[in-house]
Amino acid sequence: MARRDRPWLMRTYAGHSTAQASNALYRRNLGKGQTGLSVAFDLPTQTGYDPDHALARGEVGRVGTPVAHLGDMRQLFEGIPLDRTNTSMTINATAMWLLALYQVVAEEQGAEPTMLRGTTQNDIVKEYLARGTHVYPPGPSLRLTTDTITYAVSHLPRWNPVNVCSYHLQEAGATPVQEIAYAMTSAIAVLDAVRDSGRISPGRIGDVVGRISFFVNAGVRFVEEMCKIRAFGEIWDRLTRERYGVTDPAQRRFRYGVQVNSLGLTEAQPENNVQRIVLEMLAVTLSRDARARAIQLPAWNEALGLPRPWDQQWSLRIQQVLAEESDLLEHEDLFTGSHVVRAKTEALAAEAWAEIGRVQEMGGALAAVSSGYLKSRLVDSHARRRARVESGEERIVGVNCYPETEPSPLTAGPEAAVLTVAPAAEAPVVEALHRWRARRDRAAARRALDALRRTAETDRNLMFPTLECARAGVTTGEWADALRGVFGEYRAPTGVGGAGAAGAAAPDPALAAVRRAAADTARALGVGRLRLLVGKPGLDGHSNGAEQIAVRARDAGFEVVYQGIRLTPAQLVAAAVQEDVHCVGLSILSGSHVALVPDVLDRLRAAGAGDVPVVVGGIIPAGDAAALRTAGVAAVFTPKDFGITGIIGRIVDEIRLAHHLEVVP
């Protein structure tokens, strides 16, 4: 019998409402046997806004914990010894800032920075492609990543300062080949920048490679996903050996953590998500040679809303049963010698190398982001997958096959099936921020921000003035705004224009019928084409659904107005009025629909466009959906409404109803 392998780090991605509430949750999870922390920050924190900023309205504490300053970070980790904790922080544009706050809190606890262990995600390329929490243009963003890496290698030697994240690429539609290729080109961009910065001697590039980790996705096709991980490892080993001359095999090891695929979780028959999660976990645990070193599993009900502590406990127990009760960790790799696994791994690797080559020929990942190539490839892949689901070619149990079901006791009371963050929780956070600003040494904060701006205008490392900002009581929004003033902001390509038509592979009778209905309606209204505004109010950067609606509406003959993410209700209403649209479609997955949708409705009425139908899509509990319809929303779509062509048809119907035209069943 082989030596028993040690189990992976077990985490749950957690944080909500306030730093105090999240601290209590972390302590409870650690007490249940969780062996690492995975911190979820709210969207204002991720995008560099304070809780009292206009764009933060409705977003504070919704999808993570708000951290606006050093005091919040102290509360977040109160009673948790950071020199004995492995902490993963899902943060990107503001990663340097949150790492500085974390280090200062650790120092206040008496910990040596050299003892800190954990990860900052800090992969900005995937933000432009899939997640949407970018702030600065590609060049300055890469500089922030490079500065963080070069600082950490010397001062935080156990910390992983960058976590190249392919997880969200799969969520945005990436095939396994694309997930490998685009993660690798992102890693190349980072490593080239570090190498060319001159801050790391050529002999220490192996130290940098050895501190780079990856955060990958694992879907339900677990054989293919396991082979994807093996291909990842082989490509990384060859890439770091040949391109960067790293000779130590331990430094070249593909070090990765996982969250399994949230894209595949369903609102319909959500209890099926449990077996999906188990299968997806097997992809990254069965093979000892390709086993993850850290795993966090989503909860069964994440397609319904924010999971409760009990739901997260269930996901933790899934990991613990496999690690503690099975014999998995007692054996060598189970797939050594498998010709099936070897052939699939080689095929994925070969295709990924080819795509890596194409991106590098364009000038690398940042050039391919700026040109829109990478985003359009992902939008196109996602559109093709959605078309396969709608046609039934790709079968999803409980959604497009076997929809018959018994009533589920897990969701008998929809409002009790998820954790709800009360809108009233935002006000105390804002009030606490105002007290912090009033009590700090304002002159010290001003001096620290001035030093940050001056450094940003040079090529010196920004981590040092960032640490001083943390110590001086600077806020998240102030730190980010200081850099916005030097670097500017960035709006990434949407990828919608370059995506292929959904019906390109085969004739689609349903889409043809919607196209005819749209054309008939446009003629009845005396316009060339119906106009649809697709909008994402607030800070939610998950734009995949909005992009697919935009692509399918375009295929159905609409003129689509889609300006990307992160717009205020005022900006969206101004665009709707200026473009004289026939319908406004809002996409919100962060839970901020409660505050933002009524604001859009009120502003449309004030602008004299109250007769324009508004439809909303997102993760919206049944009670909220009823309230939105009462407020004037024409239709609400949730993940159970997987048929995009049907949604576009419903939008045509709502336009006809708004103009007193007959709707044909």
Select from 237, 187, 253 the least CA-distant residue to 349.
Answer: 237
CATH H-level superfamily of 10-391: Methylmalonyl-CoA mutase (3.20.20.240)
Q: Which of 621, 562, 599, 543 is nearest to 57 (CA)?
A: 599
Confidence (pLDDT) at 354 = 98
Cα separations (Å) of 222 from 225, 278, 326?
Answer: 5, 10, 19
155 is catalytic: no
46's CB contacts (< 8 A; 6+ apart) are: 64, 90, 91, 92, 93, 94, 133, 539
Interatomic CA distance for residues 225 and 217, integer angstroms: 8
564-568-573 Cα angle (round to 5): 90
What pLDDT, on the 0 to 100 scale, is given for residue 130? Answer: 80
Phi, psi torsion values for 397, nearest 5 degrees: -65, 130
Three-state SS letters, 347-363: HHHHHHHHHHHHHHHCC
Burial string for 132-155 (b: 16+ CB within 10 Å, else e) reads: bbbbbbbebbbbbbbbbbbbbbee
pTM, two decimal places: 0.90
84, two tokens = 């004995």
Residue 168: active-site member: yes
Q: Dihedrals φ, ψ of 587, to 5°? A: -120, 120
- Residue range 103-153, pLDDT digits in tens: 999 999 999 999 999 999 888 888 888 888 889 999 999 999 999 999 999
Q: Cα–Cα distance between 472 and 441 in angstroms, integer?
A: 7
pLDDT of residue 500: 55
Distance CA 227, CA 340 (A): 10
Q: Which of 16, 228, 542, 593 is catalytic?
A: 542
| Cα within 13 Å of Cα(596), Cβ side | 35
**What is the pLDDT, as a whole number, of residue 49?**
96
pLDDT in tens, 367-381: 999 999 998 999 889
Give every CB contact of residue 450 below 8 A, 6+ residues apart in sequence.
Answer: none
Which pLDDT value is given to residue 3? 74
Q: Which of 72, 540, 555, 653 is labelled catalytic?
A: 540
- Is 542 tagged catalytic? yes
CATH of domain 509-659: 3.40.50.280
pLDDT lower than 70: segments of the chain: 1-2, 413-416, 492-507
Q: What is the pLDDT of residue 664?
A: 76
Catalytic residue chosen out of the listed positions 16, 69, 344, 536: 536
What is the DSSP track for 302-323? TTTSBPPHHHHHHHHHHHHHHH
Q: Show me where the domains of the chain are located.
A: 10-391, 509-659
- Residue 226, sorted as left (phi over 0), alpha (psi -120 to 50) or beta, turns out to be alpha
Residue range 495-540, pLDDT digits in tens? 666 555 544 445 688 899 999 999 999 999 999 999 999 999 989 8
Which residues share a beta bridge with 588? 618
Give catalytic status of residue 540 as yes or no: yes
- Catalytic residue of the set 151, 167, 256, 490: 167
